[in-house]
Structure formats: C-alpha cells, structure tokens
Amino acid sequence: MARKKITKGPTPVDAIKHDNRRTNIPTADAHDFLDPEIEEVRRIRHTRDESLDPQLVWRGKYPQVGEEGSDDNDLVVDAPPIYIQEKIDPRVLIENLRRTAERSEEEPELTLFDDFDGLDELDQVDFYKHDANWSNRMILGDSLQVMSSLAEREHLRGKVQMIYIDPPYGIKFGSNWQVSARNRNVKDGRLEDAAREAEQIKAFRDTWELGIHSYLSYLRDRLLVARELLTESGSCFVQIGDENVHLVRSVMDEVFGAENFASMISFVTTSGFTQALSLGRNGDYILWYARDLSNLKSRTLWQPANDRKTYRWVEFPDGTSRGLKRGETVDQLPTEARIYSPGDLQSQGPPDRSQPFKYEGKTYHPGQTSHWKANYPDGMNRLAWAKRIHVASGSIRYRRYADDFPYQARTNFWTDTGTGNFTDDKYYVVQTNSKVIERCMLLATDPGDLVLDPTCGSGTTAHVAEQWGRRWITVDTSRVALALARQRIMGVRYPWYILADSAEGHEKEQSLTAQVLPRAEFKNDIRHGFIYERVQHITLKSIANNPDIKEGMTREQVDAAIKRHADYELLYDRPYQEKKKVRVAGPFTVESLSPHRSLAFSGGLEEPAAESAVSQDANAPDFERSILDNLAKAGIQNGRRRERITFASFESYAGQYIQAIGERGGLAEDGAAARVALAIGPQYGTVSPSFIKKAAREAIKAEGVDLLCVLGFAFDAQVTGVTEDDGVTVEASDDGFANVAATRRLGRIPVLMVRMNADLLMGEELKKTGAGNLFTVFGEPDIDVEDTDDGPVVHLNGVDIYDPTTGEIRSTDTSRIALWMIDTDYNEESFFVRHCYFTGSTDPYKQLKTALKAEIDPDTWASLYATSSRPFPKPTTGKIAVKVINDYGDEVMKVFEVS
C-alpha cells in the first residue's frame, strides 16, 4: 500500500509499501541473541538428475571414480544465516531535509521507523520465528549460499516470480572488476584494476579456475538452486553474449528441461563492436526459461505498428475503394481516407450445413472444407451492415483497417535497446541496460511479485523492480558494487504510478471506460496493479458479435457501436502517472552472510566437492601455512609509526581460533610484546566481533602470550565496537585504534586487528604487483561528537584508508570516503540509517533536488556532502552509531554515548 505522507508540505514524498511479509532474520547488532543452533552453517543437498538426455559434458561436471565424493553427484551447499547490517527508508533522509524538519518538531524518522518491522521488542530478537513487514534486500555474499539460505532458512522456495542473471560473458582475470566506487575506468591486464576483494577473488576462482569448464559448473549450480526458488509460473532470464550462448542454453536445457524453453531474445547493445577476422557484433542474448512452461505467467507487450506494407487498399469517404498506386503513400491521400488490408473471411473445417451468403446481389459460399469466420448468418450480416466486406475476384474478404489496432506484439528481436546505456546514468563498469531488464520484468511479472538478481552489479535490476512496484532481492560478492547500488537506490526519484486499488485509480478507470464502477474500500494494495494506458483492439469477432449494429445505420453510428463493444489491450509499459507526487524507494535492508568460520580451518564438516578445489590457498596446499610463511617474510605494518612487527619464528598452536604463536624478531622496545598469538580469520568472508572475542579468550588461556593479532581479509563493521557483557572488558584510548598500535584490550590481552592484503589469495596471477605491505593494522574512523545548542553534531575528521592497489595506509584522510551514516537513536539491536552523507564523487539526489527545490534550500542540500552532520535531537537511547564506508566498500562502525 502507499504509505501516508508524514508532512503537509506542498510536494508529498511517498513510497510503495508491500503488504507481504518476510522472515524476521537476525541483525548484526543483535547477534548475541541468536541461538547457537541457528548460527551453525547448514548443509543443503540439491539433487542432480544424471539421467537427463542429452547432456553437455565438461571437465569437473561430476567427480571421477576414485575422487572424493565420486559416489555422490548431488550439489551440497552451505546455507549460513543472513544478517541485517542496515535498515534504510529513503523517505527518512528526505523528510530530515525539509524545512518543516528544521522547526522544533520531533524528527520524522522516529515515527517512520516505528513500523519498519512491525514487531514488538521481544519478537524482534526472536529470530526465524516471526514474520516482519516486507522490506527489499541487498545482500553481500556468494549467490549460491545466499539462495540456499533463502530457500532453506527463510522458506522462499517456490516464492520468487522472476530471476535475472547477468553472469560474466567470457572475461579474463582482472576484467570487469571495479575496485573503487570512484573510478569506473577498468582495463584488462592492468594490475591496479584487478579484483582485491576476497569474495570476488573466490568468485573468480570458482568461475575460471578451469576456464569454461569451471564457468559452466559455476552457472549450473546457481541455476539449479535458482530453479527451486521459482514459483510454478516463474521465469529465469540469463543475459549472455555470443561467445557462450550455445553452451549456456545447453546447461539451461539440462536444469530446466528443454520443454520449458520460452524464448531466446536478441537485443541491440551498441552500434557495433569490431572483431578481427569476423563480422562486427552489435548485440547480446537473453535466454528465457520457465519453471513450468504450461503455467508460465506472461504478459503481451505492444509496440506501435509502423510497418503497414500489407495495407494496400484505400477506402474513401464516399464508400468507394481502390488499390494504392505504385509509389503512392498514405500522406498523399485525403485526410478522411482509410487504408485497409483484405483479410481472410474463412476458417478451416466444413460447416454443419450450407452457408450461402448474399452480398451486393451476388451469393458467395465458403470452400468445401471451410466455413465463414463470423457466426452465420447474424455475424456475416453485421459485417455487411458495418461495410466490413471487401469484394475480391470471385470471393469476399474482411476489411481490416490500419487504425483498427495500430499496434503489434513485441517479438524476440529488440532493436530499440542500443541507446539504453548511454541515456542511463552510469554507476558501474559493467552496467546492464535498464530497458532490457525492464522489458523482461514486464513480460513475466506483475506489481507486487518478487524478483531476484544474484548478480547485482550497480543494482539495475533492483532499480527497475523498485520503479515498477516489484519486490526485489539482489546479491553480489563485491562490496564496491553494493556501495554503489545502495547510493543509487537511496537517491532516485521514481514516477508515481496510479494504483488500481485507490480512490485515484477508481476515478481514472471510470473516466477511461465511461462507466460507473461500484465503489469499494480501497487498501492501496500494489498487487492489484496500476491504471494502464490502453488501446482499442477492433477485431472481426467483436464486430460480428456486436448487438448494437443494425441494418441501415450510418457510418458514424456503426463506428460508435463498434467502439462501445471493442476489446482493448493494456499497455503494461505505460501506466498513468501522478506527476505532482514525489516517490522514492521503499524500505530496504543491506545484509551479509554470517561471518562464520571457514570450514577449511574449523575441522568441522567436509567441504562440498564443487568447492574443494578453491578451498585451499591460491597456489599452495596449505593456506594457513602460506599465510604464516608470508607473515614471516613481510611482518605486520603499524599504521602510525610505519613500524613493522617482525617474527623470528612460529610455533603451531592447537586452538580453535589461534593457529600459531610467533616470537618477535629484532630489537623490541622495552615492554613490547615478545610472544604474539595469531588468529587467521575466514579465507573468504569477514571477521566478526564474536570471532575476535573467542580468539581473545584462547589467547588469555595460552601461556606467555603478550599480544593477539587477528588477521582477516575483511572485518565486520561492528568489530571496532567489540564489547563483552560477561566480564571481559574493553579499554580503548581516546587516540583511536588507527593511530596507536595497541589500544584495544580484551581482558589483559592487547588486540591488533590486521588486514591481510588480498594479493595473498591471488598466487601467481599477481605475484608482481609490487604491493609490499601484505599485513597492515586495521584502522577505524576518527570521529568527534560536539554538543551544540541545536543538538549533537558529528564530525568525521578522517579515517585510515588502506589502498589495496598500492598496499599503503593513508591516515586522517576523508577524500576516499564514499558515504557515512548515522543512527541518531541507536538501540543496539538494529542500525537505522537516519542521516546519510555522500562524500564520494556521486550525486544521488540530483533528481530530487529539482523536484523539491521549493522546499529544501541549497545550503541544506549541500549538507549531504559534508563531513560534519546536521544537528539532531539527543537520542532517547543515550547512544548513536556512526558507520563509514570507503571507496573500496570497507565498512567500520563506532558507537558513542550521548547524554
């Protein structure tokens, strides 16, 4: 339903709300409330049918005899829980900017967020047992695990109406990976443009380790899980280039069944790519498969019928007609003249009795094995009275005028999509044309349906789904991609389409149909759709069955009778708009997979056979050993003094979280730690606060350990606010962890959070990067909270930015911060984005600036791009939380007490 506007300003700002529900999943902030049994990673088995014939066979498709898992060809996937990191309602950000919010009123977000989940305080932390209000979803993680978790833990199996997949077409390592939110200029082979996010490197290894063989395994596994999520009437679209379209179609035949192939769509992408020794390419393909073709939901899309070559006859106002002359065009005819095409008036199949029909003094019969298309004799008489019969040589035919229906159904060849990427705002290095996704979505879904995109990129599918009132879930392994998608969705102004289930829609429908419709109680339910433009579709059948057509009627009377009873076609891509309303995106959440312990280190369940090849390090049999070897060579860089912690030796430690204890090398300063415990975080994932706490407990119990170093490729945003409630205390100096080596202490153990350079995962591919700092101390933002007369103000002074392209640390620098957010009333259970500031190079609000320029002054707009916040009321909870995201998608969060 459409949410009620909060203020009485002249320009309403609304959003579409869906009455559907979603499983109440845990938030990262309330992780401690999660039952340990729920937190455990589940293994989900997806059955593969080897009996399907024909099949495409590739290396590694099935384990060979003698290999691990050779007796089990089913797909086994981890399904970890998904955690909510942020809750976002874009209307909050707009309402905070309104001039009305500058008055002494309660901040609007305090009421807007009240019904975000629709659960009471106890149910909110009782996870997986209650259904919350629907909010759209942006999820960081491996799409295979995410989809398995959605199906198994959240019961979305059979609930998704459409899945759109835009996998790599045929890339090489280092291409199509955008490493910074600020720079889209990415080139193959350039080292500084190669991916350096652990999740993306894993995605690359899964997809390309064995070339096309790995690619097909990657796609087959995800299609298999995607199929389980689809409704019986659902559709799966895969966008692909000409290099692999034939192979992908074979894989989709195997997964969905060849009998469920719906179409292969060709669409124009540019004016043409030149290719050596071959024809230029100017398009790509979309493979459309149904979950069950017999139940497929499909909506016909219409386009203007510009080709009228078959309409070669003209009828003049006096009733005479003739064929068009050679070279004669419609523009040369009188205005009142109508062109038409003589159509067949007979259908196959002999009649039950003779059907003689007399017209203009001559009797006509259908063929011996045919009958008249119109019902006989009444329908044929109505065609004659309506002057719809054309006399040909020895037969009669039906007059089909060009303006009876000036539209034609779209086919599977789309020529109008070539300019889409030039007119769309460009956010991402590989950004899908929004017109292509829009057309697929309108073909296969209705408003309120659920759409899933496991290849988020810049968020184009989510953006299109939001525009057209569909629910959406989008997934990506790249933090950069999600950072860009988040900004894109938060700032867009969407058209307000008139809802069918609304007072405005009821009034509009009456005006379009010229009928009085029964009054109803309107709930503004998006699932009833929009009010669409429509076009009359005059057919032979509608005229033959028209009871208002009588003998002797004038031409005007006949035309009026035809219009009263003619069918019409809805133009699903042209709903009516209320242009005075401003619409922004509805509520959505940013989520991530559980930062669980990598199975390769835990000694737990065996890994799936499909994952075993990439579970080790890049080029060595023992990933843990590889990390320690590199640590011995490189040491750990200190961000403040450019010091390095060097090691003389390592001894193994049989802990669950600590792998080794290192002896410091060189001349240590007095009081410096001599024995350092080393805890290596997940190989492909994030280090969580829970991981750090448990590692600290092991370090405290270990003999003679003076310092704990937690090594990770990525850290959860909450790690900088680690706190224990069971006797382990946190002591942090006011200088901030980014500036002093050992400022965080858990119990008696100082803790350093150390970021590992993702080059360690790349092996030989990037051994010549020249990035010498493989291990660097992980920093946090330098933030001050000032108490002013107008309320608290947050100042972002800087943050340690780790540049993965050079391996360097730049301290107290805000130039590489993409955005930062504040929860001005943090309840320690959810992070609600109540303020958001965009310090990067993008301007997500440029459309809304125009729409709301009369209500929000330029200075207020300018505050969105500052490193100091606007004043806000003191929090009722006594706490605020600040989250900072840099251009590489890294996130850190700090909590402050504000009294």
pLDDT at 644 over 50: yes
CA–CA distance, 619 with 626 (Å, rounded to integer): 9
Residue 418 or 162, more confident: 162
CA diameter of the chain: 120
Q: Cβ–Cβ contacts within 10 Å for residue 422, how many? A: 9
pLDDT at 197 over 60: no
**pLDDT band per the 50, 70, 90 thresholds, residue 88:** very high
Q: Cβ–Cβ contacts within 10 Å for residue 579, how many? A: 9
- Using alpha carbons, select from 275, 173, 267 the residue that is nearest to residue 215: 173
pLDDT tens, residue by residue, 687-717: 888 888 889 989 988 888 888 888 887 777 7
The residue type at 133: N
Q: Judge whether 490 and 844 are in contact, CB under 8 Å.
A: yes
Provide the 8-state DSSP code for 801: E
Averaged pLDDT, 292-321: 92
CA–CA distance, 344 with 678 (Å, rounded to integer): 83
Q: Judge whether 494 and 467 are in contact, CB under 8 Å.
A: yes
Q: Judge whether 380 and 396 are in contact, CB under 8 Å.
A: no
CA–CA distance, 451 with 470 (Å, rounded to integer): 7
- Using alpha carbons, select from 708, 766, 715 the residue that is nearest to residue 741: 708
**pLDDT band per the 50, 70, 90 thresholds, residue 72:** low
Q: Cβ–Cβ contacts within 10 Å for residue 271, how many? A: 9
pLDDT tens, residue by residue, 575-586: 999 988 999 999
pLDDT tens, residue by residue, 550-565: 999 999 999 999 999 9
- Domain ranges for the chain, please list them: 142-178+194-298+410-476, 306-404+532-575, 615-623+637-773
Averaged pLDDT, 647-653: 86
User: Hey, which of 524-528, 637-641, 737-741 has the most confident mean pLDDT?
Assistant: 524-528
Provide the 8-state DSSP code for 120: -
CA–CA distance, 56 with 706 (Å, rounded to integer): 57
CA–CA distance, 693 with 595 (Å, rounded to integer): 13
> Minimum mean pLDDT among 165-179, 282-296, 306-320, 623-637: which range?
165-179
Q: Judge whether 285 and 266 are in contact, CB under 8 Å.
A: yes
pLDDT of residue 10: 55
pLDDT tens, residue by residue, 226-255: 999 999 999 999 999 888 899 999 999 999
pLDDT at 549 over 60: yes
CA distance readout (Å), 407 to 29, 574, 714: 54, 14, 54
User: Hey, which of 96-110, 668-682, 757-771 has the most confident mean pLDDT?
Assistant: 668-682
Q: Cβ–Cβ contacts within 10 Å for residue 668, how many? A: 13
CA–CA distance, 178 with 693 (Å, rounded to integer): 33
Averaged pLDDT, 594-620: 32
pLDDT of residue 422: 38
Residue 772 or 637, more confident: 637
Encoded tokens for 84: 């909510």
pLDDT of residue 808: 57
Encoded tokens for 473: 């879930």
Residue 813 or 272, more confident: 813
Query: What mean pLDDT is reported for the chain?
Result: 79
- Entry pTM: 0.80
pLDDT tens, residue by residue, 440-493: 999 999 999 999 999 988 899 999 999 999 999 999 988 888 888 998 999 899
CA–CA distance, 388 with 342 (Å, rounded to integer): 9
Decide: helix, strand or coil at residue 63: coil
Helix axes 212-229, 143-152, angle to 10 degrees: 20
> Minimum mean pLDDT among 5-9, 407-411, 814-818: which range?
5-9
Provide the 8-state DSSP code for 219: H
- Using alpha carbons, select from 612, 572, 611, 627 the residue that is nearest to residue 774: 627
Q: Judge whether 144 and 46 are in contact, CB under 8 Å.
A: no
Provide the 8-state DSSP code for 668: P
Decide: helix, strand or coil at residue 870: coil
pLDDT at 569 over 70: yes
pLDDT tens, residue by residue, 202-212: 555 555 556 67
Query: Which of the following CATH numbers is that of domain 142-178+194-298+410-476: 3.20.20.70, 3.40.50.150, 1.10.3720.10, 3.40.50.720?
Result: 3.40.50.150
Averaged pLDDT, 857-861: 82
**pLDDT band per the 50, 70, 90 thresholds, residue 605:** very low
Contacts of 641 (CB under 8 A, 6+ apart): 741
